[in-house]
């Protein structure tokens, strides 16, 4: 490394899903490059998997883990927490504030001082809020205003960059696309167990993940043995009870198993085909992980999923269509050999494009570019 070690705060709201996985991977990679890193996150959110990841990385975080108030919706903490982050950054001698998601970015950019730079990775962020909602309108306006305090916007997909340019603004600062990356070990193939269910869903249990459409599509599908098709669901979230009620109705009773939060590679062994029926996405890790593990995947054509699917993107389906989803699920069950051949093609593309060391070094380069621009402009 030719530049001096940096002191970096990674700032996010909820330590869940792909966003948190990205922060942990990035932090570990930066630490390996000799930088000092800390993590700032919401003080209220806890679950076993997130706490386990934090406990694992915390001893390596020279700048520590700091839990502060960060509400998902608009609240007084949007004023008070950035002040606390600014004081924290000053006391720690931080020169890079990297905000992830809508609230992480608000805190990073408001907390920025003359001695630091602020960067923003949306991860969907504000674009997940309806542009017609009060929160969506306010967050978009805030994003546009806060671009004046932004030294770089790092987009995790070409899709995210295009949508941000269209819905918010074209940033005058640095705004590269840097794809998420996977560890070498994640390219080890995973095979489904002999007693695996037909399909698997992994993700946060939210409406935008399309889980209710998946359940409706499953109803009339039979597998190669002539039996009703089955599904495992891994994850947790706000519509968990709604899902539990649906799978206990007569047409699905006994066909769907709720696993709770589980590691993705474990779930890959429990279902023969991964289904990602999302209505909105940015660049979902579960699709990257499933592709790297050589698993067949059915996914909707949203966000940056087509960038992951690459040469197999013609198999992506329309979001929100129960009929398209049902047809693809039935097609898989009729010809699993063809689905596995497509998975092998997709894995090759992902291995050539999405790897962790590349992601970390490219983000490190943006940090240094932003700092150098800031120094020349002061």
What is the pLDDT at residue 1? 41
Of 40 and 45, more confident: 40
Give 271: exposed, middle or buried? Use CB within 10 Å, 0-12, 13-18, 19+. Answer: buried
- Residue 300: its pLDDT value, please? 98
Can you tell me the distance from the alpha carbon of 230 to that of 329, in angstroms, rounded to the nearest whole number? 11
Residues 220 and 251: their CA atoms lie apart, in Å, by 9
Give the residue with greater pLDDT, 51 vs 353: 353
Asked whether the predicted pLDDT for residue 326 surpasses 90, the reply is yes
Structure confidence at residue 369 (pLDDT): 97
Sign of CA dihedral 58, 62, 65, 70: negative
Q: Give the pLDDT score at 46.
A: 66
Instruction: Output the pLDDT for position 4.
Output: 84
Q: What is the pLDDT of residues 196-252, one digit of tens each?
A: 999 999 999 999 999 999 999 999 999 988 999 999 999 999 999 999 999 999 999
Q: In what order do the strands lie in the sheet with 7-11?
A: 65-68, 36-42, 7-11, 96-100, 117-121, 152-153
pLDDT at 78: 82
Q: How much is the mean pLDDT over the chain?
A: 93
Query: Rounded CA gap, 139 and 120, in Å?
Result: 14
Q: Is the pLDDT of residue 102 over 60?
A: yes
Burial 140-170 (b: 16+ CB within 10 A, else e): bebbeebbeebbbbbbbbebbbebbeeebee
* Residue that wins the pLDDT comparison between 116 and 14: 116
At residue 117 the predicted structure's pLDDT band, cuts being 50, 70 and 90, is very high
Confidence (pLDDT) at 134: 78
Say whether pLDDT at 36 is over 70: yes
- Report the pLDDT averaged over residues 153-161: 95
Return the percentage of the chain with pLDDT > 90, whole number: 80
Please check the confidence at residue 2 and state whether its pLDDT lies above 70: no
Query: What pTM, to 2 d.p., does this model score?
Result: 0.86
Q: How confident is the model at residue 376 (pLDDT cuts 50, 70, 90)?
A: low
For the CA atoms of 57, 125, 153, 97, the dihedral, rounded to the nearest 10 degrees, stands at -40
pLDDT of residue 187: 97
pLDDT at 72: 77
Domains (range + CATH), the chain: 7-181+355-377 (3.40.50.2000), 184-353 (3.40.50.2000)
Structure tokens at 79: 């004023």
- A 10 A CB-CB count for 259 gives 17
Tens of pLDDT, residues 121-136: 998 777 777 778 877 7
């Amino acid at each position: 490394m030719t530049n001096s070690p940096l002191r970096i705060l990674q700032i996010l709201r909820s330590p869940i899903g792909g966003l948190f996985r990205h922060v942990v991977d990035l932090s570990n990679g930066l630490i390996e490059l000799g930088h000092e890193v800390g993590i700032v996150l919401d003080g209220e959110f806890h679950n076993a998997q997130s706490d386990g990841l934090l406990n694992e990385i915390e001893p390596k975080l020279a700048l520590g883990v700091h839990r502060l108030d960060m509400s998902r919706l608009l609240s007084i903490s949007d004023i008070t927490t950035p002040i606390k982050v600014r004081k924290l950054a000053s006391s720690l001698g931080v020169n890079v504030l990297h905000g992830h998601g809508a609230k992480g970015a608000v805190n990073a950019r408001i907390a920025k001082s003359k001695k630091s730079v602020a960067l923003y990775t949306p991860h969907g962020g504000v674009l997940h809020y309806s542009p017609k909602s009060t929160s969506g309108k306010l967050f978009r306006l805030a994003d546009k205003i806060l671009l004046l305090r932004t030294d770089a916007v790092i987009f995790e997909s070409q899709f995210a960059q295009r949508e941000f340019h269209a819905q918010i603004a074209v940033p005058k600062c640095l705004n590269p696309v840097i794809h998420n990356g996977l560890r070498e070990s994640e390219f080890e193939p995973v095979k489904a167990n002999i007693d695996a269910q037909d399909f698997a869903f992994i993700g946060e249990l939210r409406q935008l993940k399309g889980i209710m459409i998946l359940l409706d599509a499953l109803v009339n599908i039979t597998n190669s043995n002539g039996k009703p098709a089955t599904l495992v669901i891994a994850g947790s979230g706000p519509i968990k009870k709604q899902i539990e009620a649906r799978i206990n109705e007569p047409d699905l009773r006994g066909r769907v198993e709720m696993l709770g939060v589980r590691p993705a590679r474990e779930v890959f062994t429990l279902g023969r085909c991964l289904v990602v029926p999302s209505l909105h996405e940015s660049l979902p890790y579960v699709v990257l992980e499933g592709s790297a593990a050589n698993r067949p995947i059915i996914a909707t054509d949203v966000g940056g999923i087509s960038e992951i699917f690459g040469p197999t993107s013609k198999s992506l389906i329309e979001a929100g269509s129960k009929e398209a989803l049902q047809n693809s699920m039935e097609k898989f069950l009729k010809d699993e050999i063809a689905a596995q051949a497509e998975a092998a093609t997709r894995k090759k593309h992902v291995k050539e494009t999405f790897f962790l060391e590349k992601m970390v070094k490219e983000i490190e380069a943006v940090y240094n570019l932003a700092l150098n621009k800031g120094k020349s402009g002061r």
